[in-house]
Amino acid sequence: MIKVVAKCKLKSDVKVEEYLRDARELVAETRKEEGCITYALHQDINDPSIITMLEEWVDEEALNQHNKTDHVNRIVPELRKLRESTEVNIYREVE
């Protein structure tokens, strides 16, 4: 299983709800993908402009296929325009 933690900070002039609208569409489409176990959007309690996506995939191939989908290629570039910074960490479980 592969886990992804994608954390971003929105630009100061961005309305959080604007970002969340597009991010929710990405979540809805991604959850339909084969290989997606969990794909959930989270907002920091103390700073609403910090948004984190927590993802679980059956394997790296499923994650790679996700990154090639039409909805990722359409929505993610729009989301990037609204971010000040992004940090993505990809994890594999240690047995």
Give me the domain span that covers residue 78.
2-92
Q: How many CB atoms lie within 10 A of CB 55?
A: 20
Predicted confidence (pLDDT) per residue in 35-75, tens digit: 999 999 999 999 999 999 999 999 999 999 999 999 999 99
SS3 assignment for 36-86: EEEEEEEECCCCCCEEEEEEEECCHHHHHHHCCCHHHHHHHHHHHCCEEEE
What is the rounded CA–CA span in Å between residue 58 and residue 26? 19
CA 67 vs CA 13, 29, 53: distances in Å: 28, 12, 14
Predicted confidence (pLDDT) per residue in 76-92, tens digit: 999 999 999 999 999 99
Q: Please report the pLDDT score of residue 2 as a whole number.
A: 97
Percent of the chain clearing pLDDT 90 (strictly above): 97
For residue 67, the domain's CATH number is 3.30.70.100
pLDDT at 95 over 90: no
Number of structural domains the chain divides into: 1
